[in-house]
Structure 1
């Protein structure tokens, strides 16, 4: 049986249930919003702390490139292996002409330059005329030679006549001897005049206006390295007109550090490289080591002789010479890990290489050692068998720096 009191309590109970449901839904909404913010915070924290790979290692030092990207960047990878390396001495050097085959050509006497057919860079043969000059001294020498010839002809005629008269006992013996002496003096005078004309460079067969001319010639076959002869100017013994060099072999002039003296011997084999011909080496031998130490640079001059039949090595070129060691180790080879010089770059001042592992290029700091023949010894930071980038390293460095700038923004 329902009373009026029961009818009053029912609406109150319904209101209480509605309020409880509203409070419950509000609480659930706040909890869900808190969980969403927490999840977003975790994502930001993960981004700030660096991406994670399996095992918890950071991938900040790695780069990933597709095969097409690696090919465009010129990336090449090489397996690191222990290689035999001789303890050679590597020095910078300069190419010089062979001083034993270098001549600065000047006239023996003063003369006016009448022709200079030799040109800068010409290859000339021994005795070839480089220039011709006209000289009063040569003209006088030629005249003296002609006069001596005439005097000899007269003396010869007198001697023959005296010889015949002496045979017939028509003249005294002393007259015959005097004629013979005059003839001998004329022969000696002619010889002296001819020698003087030859020494001055005159031509005994010249005639007319050419008797005073003489030639400046190449002392040996070679190349005209320098020319200072101008038509009409006065040439003199104190001013070389031409420099001629035989470049069939050249000298590599190097300065050996004091610490390397015990490793280098005369006769040691050497390999020379020049920037003009990358990848090529020129073989030579050490043929001279200086007797004194330069007190300023603490080095000793050394000379390497290199054949240069094709003339590709030019004087004053810069070169790098690797000289075979003959020191305490006896030039023995040792097994070391080494990389091409181009494989190493500086990252924040630290020598660094890129190691290819599990599809990514990982930066790896190393401790480099000595350099020889375009390779650098690796003392620490790598081990044999690892795949190391040997070409395209600078492209990887640029990509890495670009990615770091992107993260900074």
Structure 2
């Protein structure tokens, strides 16, 4: 209910913006017949008019309202699967900094979250055997994930003082259920989305693991993403779109062009400064575009941005005429 109210409010807000632009550009927007024999739907140069599922909007007003068109053309419809997954460190890129000899810890030089380089001193331990201090270095370059020591404590021989991981790359383990696992194979493109802020990363599926995840009974497909900024964090849940096939279509439009007019799917076609509702039959679709089976011709200028403003303007005029 809240979402419906928000959408209605957004649409009428857009209409108000469009109406304000029309008022600023020429006063009375709607044409009145000047002579008995003149068509009543002809509008002034800066105005607009609506009749039978169409509206006329001056180019400058349309531009200011953010209305954009693009020619309908051939394109590609992707066969995609939406899945969820988990970020994990790449195996073999984690290590522990350990005490070589038992003795009290005299100093610690790194904390959890610090970036360290291979060979960098992390701790000083006084050996019980020689009574001399020795340094514990970082075994690899990476980020400190854990510090298992405190100054003054006694470190045992081989005790792990720090855990370090190279997180410049991470595995994305995607969980695939049921019959979807039969359609997903290594080598297909994957778009990974971070749930915290919507950031995305494109990669390629590397392998489908032979086993099954015990807890979820899902098949695990694995990809690798770059993580130079460190904002992709191990253990975080992600969602991904796996493209298993790309199929050509004779005519496609972006999903932003689609509206519902009189309970049928429609797009809005521009001819000059006139925008008309055009019922269409939709075929396949993916996350970005839809195939148009009938109702539209290649090359026709289709409203691809702010199409809801065109719809709302026509509906507003229709409601006014009915009263």
- Classify the TM-score, shorter chain: 0.5 to 0.7
For the residues of structure 2 that align with 1:73 and 1:302, how far apart are their CA atoms?
A: 44
Please say if 1:335 is aligned against 2:249.
yes
Q: Provide the C-alpha distance between the structure 2 equivalents of 1:353 and 1:277, rounded to a whole number of angstroms.
A: 29
Q: Structure 2 length as normaliser, TM-score?
A: 0.62
Give the conservation status (yes or no) of the 8 Å contact 1:94–1:254. Answer: yes
Counterpart contact for 1:111–1:235, Cα < 8 Å:
yes
Residue 100 of structure 1: SS of its match in structure 2?
coil
| TM-superposed deviation, 1:222 | 1.7
Q: Deviations over 1:189-222 (max 9, x none)?
A: xxxxxxxxxxxxxxxxx3xxx3xx663x433222
**SS, match of residue 185 in structure 2:** coil
User: In the aligned structure 2, how far is the partner of 1:342 from the partner of 1:236?
Assistant: 64
The equivalent of 2:223 in structure 1 is 304
In structure 2, relative to structure 1, the CA distance for the partners of 1:390 and 1:332 (3 Å cut) is closer
Match of residue 258 from structure 1: 178
Change (3 A) 1:87 1:311: same
Offset at residue 240 of structure 1 (A): 7.1
8 Å CA contact retained: 1:96, 1:250: yes
| Structure 1 partner of 2:118 | 126
Three-state SS of the structure 2 residue aligned to 1:99 is: coil
* CA deviation profile, 1:64-123 (whole Å, cap 9, x unmatched): 322122212222212122224454545454443323313466768987654332245443
Alignment of 1:12-161 (within 5 A): 59=51, 61-85=53-77, 87=79, 89=81, 91-103=83-95, 114-133=106-125, 138-139=127-128, 141-142=129-130
Q: CA deviation at 1:128?
A: 2.4
Instruction: Report how many aligned residue pairs link the two structures.
Output: 271
- Which residue of 167, 172, 176 corresponds with 1:247? 167
Choose between structure 1 and 2: higher strand proportion. 2
Offset of residue 300 of structure 1: 1.8
Return the alpha-carbon distance in structure 2 between the equivalents of residues 398 and 110 of structure 1: 77
State the superposition RMSD in angstroms.
4.5
- Secondary structure of 2:212 counterpart: coil
Q: Distance in 1 between matches of 2:311 and 2:102?
A: 67
Aligned to 1:161: none
Seen in structure 2, the aligned counterparts of structure 1 residues 260 and 67 have a Cα distance that, compared at 3 Å, is same
Offset at residue 232 of structure 1 (A): 5.8
Contact 1:247 1:311 in 2 (8 A): no
Tell me, in whole angstroms, the C-alpha distance in 2 between the residues paired with 1:230 and 1:97. 26
Q: Does 1:391 align with 2:305?
A: yes
Partner residue of 2:284? 369
Report if aligned partners of 1:95, 1:313 keep a CA contact under 8 Å in 2.
no
Aligned to 2:269: 355
Residue 355 of structure 1: how far off its partner (Å): 3.0
For residues 119 and 101 of structure 1, the distance between their equivalents in structure 2, rounded to whole angstroms, comes to 19
Q: Which residue of 2 aligns with 1:37?
A: none
CA contact (8 A) 1:117 1:131 kept: yes
Question: How far has the Cα of 1:400 moved from its partner?
Answer: 5.4
CA–CA separation in structure 2 for the residues paired with 1:401 and 1:242: 66
Greater Rg over alpha carbons, structure: 1
Taking structure 1 as the reference length, the TM-score comes to 0.51
Q: Deviations over 1:145-184 (max 9, x none)?
A: xxxxxxxxxxxxxxxxxxxxxxxxxxxxxxxxxxxxxxxx
| Partner residue of 1:378 out of 291, 294, 301 | 291
1:320 aligns with 2:240: yes
Q: Once structures 1 and 2 are overlaid, which stretch shifts more, 397-406 or 254-263?
A: 397-406
Provide structure 2 residue ranges, at least 5 long, that are not aligned to the other structure. Answer: 1-39, 43-49
Change (3 A) 1:252 1:332: same
Work out whether residues 177 and 219 of structure 2, in 8 Å CA contact, stay in contact via their aligned partners in 1.
yes
Listed one character per residue, the Cα deviations across residues 6-25 of structure 1 (whole Å, up to 9, x for unaligned) are xxxxxxxxxxxxxxxxxxxx
1:289 aligns with 2:203: no
Residue by residue over 1:271-311, the C-alpha shift from the partner in whole angstroms, topping out at 9 and shown as x without a partner, is: 43546687x76333422335226786x742211123x2744
Residues in 1 aligned to 2:264 and 2:124: alpha-carbon distance in whole angstroms: 65
Q: Flag the structure with higher helix content.
A: 1
